[in-house]
Amino acid sequence: MSGNPAYLILENGEIFEGKSFGAHGDVTGEIVFTTGMTGYLETLTDQSYCGQIVLQTFPLIGNYGVIPEDFESGSIGAKAYIVKYPCAAPSNFRSEGDLDSFLKERGIVGLYDIDTRSLTKIIRENGVMNGKITSSIPTEADRKEAHKYTVVHPIAAVSSREIVKAEDADNSKAERRIALMDFGAKRGIQNALLKRGCTVWTFPHDIIIEEIMKIEPNGIMLSNGPGDPADSDNKKIVETLKALIKKDIPIFGICMGHQLLALANGYKTAKLKFGHRGANQPVKDTRSGSVYITSQNHGYEVIAEDSSFINVNDGSCEGLDYGNSFSVQFHPEARGGPLDTGFLFDLFMERIDNHAAK
C-alpha cells in the first residue's frame, strides 16, 4: 500500500485526512455505509453500488484475501472504497491476492486510516451525502463538486447488453424457463435458480416484452440494481412490467426488482435517510410473525401499508405479495449474508408449478 496522504471532503464541508491504497486518483460519489463483518468481495462486486463510495463500518477488511469465486459480477460496482484498516497479508487457502492489489488492478481508489466510526455517525445523523476523495488538500471547489454530484443512468450502465442463456450441466432436462431481467443482477440470483432446476435467460434492462415472450417463460425474475426506482430512466421498464403483469406469469422481484414491480402495481417509492446495507438486517413476516436476518443493499423504500415483510428497525416495507407474484426488498440469495430466507426461491418454484397446473 502506498500510504500516501489522501483526503475525503463531504458536501457539508467536513474533511477527513487518511491514507491512500488501491488506485491513485480523485473520485466523487455518494457515500454509503455497509455494516457487514464479512462479504467485502460480494459488496465490491455488487453493481447496486454503481455511482457510490462504499464505507465499511467493520474495521478490518481484506483479511481473507481476494477470491474470484465469490464475486457477484465481473467488475467492481463501487466508485471508491473506504475502510479503517485494509489487511496487507491475508490468510486463506482460497485467496488469490490482496485487497490493495485487487483495487489497483481494477482502477478503484481506496482510502484508509480515517475515523470511519465518526463518518458513519455523520451519515446516520444527517443522511446519505456526497463526498470527494482527493490526494490534494481539499478546497471549496472540491466541496462544490461533491455537492453537485448525481448518479446518471445507473441501470443502463450495469445491465447486460445481450440475451444470455444459462443452464446447469447436470440438469439438461430443466422444465422451468425463467426470464431474468438484469438491472445489475448478482450472480447469486441466477445460481439460486439454476440450483432449483431452471433454465435462465438473462435479458437487458430495456428489452421489449415480445423478446421475453419468445422463450415462453414460466416465471419472470427481477434483479437488484442501482439508483432511484422512480427515476425517469426507468419508465420504460415499469411499462414493460405492467405488460408482463397482464400476462399472468409468476414474477419474483428482489431489491430494485421489488421497487420497480411495486411502481408497476401503483405504489410509490421514497428515499431512505441512510438506507439498509449489510448482512444483519432483521425483517418480520407480517403473516406468521417470524423474524429473519437478511442481507440488504438499498437506499429507497416502497411506501405500503399491506407489506408481507417489514423492517424490524424502522418499520419500512420489505416485501409485497400480489398473489401470483411477489417481491422482497432484501436478498434471499444471501450473497453475502445469512441463508434465512432462501426458501423464497422455493416459494417462487411452487407458484410457477401451481400456475402451470391450472
Residues annotated as part of the active site: 255, 331, 333
Which strands make up the sheet holding 317-321, listed edge to edge?
164-166, 198-203, 176-181, 219-222, 251-254, 326-328, 317-321, 309-311, 268-285, 291-303
Are residues 75 and 108 in contact, defined by beta-carbon separation less than 8 angstroms?
Answer: no
Using CA atoms, how far apart are residues 20 and 349, in angstroms rounded to an integer? Answer: 47
Q: How many CB atoms lie within 10 A of CB 286?
A: 16
Using CA atoms, how far apart are residues 60 and 85, in angstroms rounded to an integer? Answer: 5
Are residues 94 and 69 in contact, defined by beta-carbon separation less than 8 angstroms?
Answer: yes
Using CA atoms, how far apart are residues 55 and 57, in angstroms rounded to an integer? Answer: 6
Using CA atoms, how far apart are residues 227 and 159, in angstroms rounded to an integer? Answer: 12
Using CA atoms, how far apart are residues 88 and 78, in angstroms rounded to an integer? Answer: 21
Using CA atoms, how far apart are residues 258 and 273, in angstroms rounded to an integer? Answer: 19
Counting beta carbons within 10 angstroms of the beta carbon of residue 246, is it exposed (0 to 12), middle (13 to 18) or buried (19 or more)? exposed
Counting beta carbons within 10 angstroms of the beta carbon of residue 14, is it exposed (0 to 12), middle (13 to 18) or buried (19 or more)? middle
Using CA atoms, how far apart are residues 13 and 34, in angstroms rounded to an integer? Answer: 22
